[in-house]
């Protein structure tokens, strides 16, 4: 596996080494010793899957208590995945990193605890998998508007159409600076 640092400390792109032959392919998607060597938590306590249709945008979500680290991968389809630094004490506060993750490119995205996270579905459908370092506590969850003008994420919206949002995400507020 190749671990690629991003401009946000604690956010990494992970590219597996894929072994292909006439039967198909094989790759390691997790190996504790390599993750530990790259400062990535390896104790996952919850694994989540979601399926979404094209144009769905989920996020930007975070938990202010019990923050979750997330190891992201896509089992089918393609998404644009985003991590946002929400720590006011950080030199990269309100900065973001986005990456296209697909079943085809098999990239993974590590988002350390304390970042907001969201994704947008580019393919007809996408099945999304994330392993979390803490449990989901809805009472501690907050959402930031996907189109917050301070964060200013360049979402690759299909045909510049409004994304499909949940009620919670439609009611999300801008980040407070």
Contact 70, 108 (CB under 8 A): no
Instruction: Choose, from 62, 115, 130, 146, the residue flagged as catalytic.
Output: 130
What pLDDT does 17 receive?
94
> Per-residue pLDDT for 177 more than 80?
no
What pLDDT does 42 receive?
81
pLDDT in tens, 66-87: 999 999 999 999 999 999 999 9
For the question of residue 130 being annotated catalytic, the response is: yes
Question: How many folded domains does the chain comprise?
Answer: 1
In this structure, is residue 87 part of a structural domain? yes
Nearest 5°: phi and psi at 160? Answer: 55, 25
In this structure, is residue 78 part of a structural domain? yes
pLDDT band at 176; cut points 50, 70, 90: confident
In this structure, is residue 48 part of a structural domain? yes
Nearest 5°: phi and psi at 116? Answer: -85, 155
What pLDDT does 41 receive?
78
Global pTM? 0.94
CATH number for the domain that contains residue 28: 2.60.120.10
In this structure, is residue 143 part of a structural domain? yes
Mean residue pLDDT across the chain: 96
Portion of the chain with pLDDT greater than 70, in percent? 99
pLDDT in tens, 37-64: 999 978 999 999 999 999 999 999 999 9
In this structure, is residue 176 part of a structural domain? no
In this structure, is residue 59 part of a structural domain? yes
Of 135, 108, 96, 104, nearest to 34 (Cα)?
108
What are the DSSP E strand ranges found in 40-147? 46-53, 57-63, 70-76, 78-85, 96-102, 108-111, 115-121, 125-132, 141-143
pLDDT in tens, 82-122: 999 999 999 999 999 999 999 999 999 999 999 999 999 99
> Per-residue pLDDT for 146 more than 80?
yes
In this structure, is residue 177 part of a structural domain? no
In this structure, is residue 104 part of a structural domain? yes
**What is the span of the domain harbouring residue 84?**
2-170
Residue with tokens 């510049």: 160
């Amino acid at each position: 596996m190749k671990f690629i640092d991003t401009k946000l400390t604690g956010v990494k792109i992970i590219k597996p080494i894929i072994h292909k032959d006439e039967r198909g392919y094989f790759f390691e998607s997790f190996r504790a010793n390599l993750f530990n060597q790259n400062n990535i938590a390896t104790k996952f306590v919850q694994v989540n899957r979601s399926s979404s249709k094209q144009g769905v945008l989920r996020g930007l979500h975070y938990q202010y208590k019990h923050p979750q680290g997330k190891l992201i991968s896509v089992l089918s389809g393609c998404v644009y995945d985003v991590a946002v630094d929400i720590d006011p004490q950080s030199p990269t506060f309100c900065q973001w990193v986005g990456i296209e993750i697909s079943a085809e490119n098999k990239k993974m995205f590590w988002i350390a605890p304390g970042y907001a996270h969201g994704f947008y579905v580019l393919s007809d459908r996408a099945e999304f998998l994330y392993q979390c370092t803490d449990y989901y506590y809805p009472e501690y969850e907050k959402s930031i508007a996907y189109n917050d003008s301070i964060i200013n994420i360049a979402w690759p919206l299909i045909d510049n159409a409004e994304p499909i949002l949940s009620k919670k995400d439609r009611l999300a507020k801008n980040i407070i600076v």
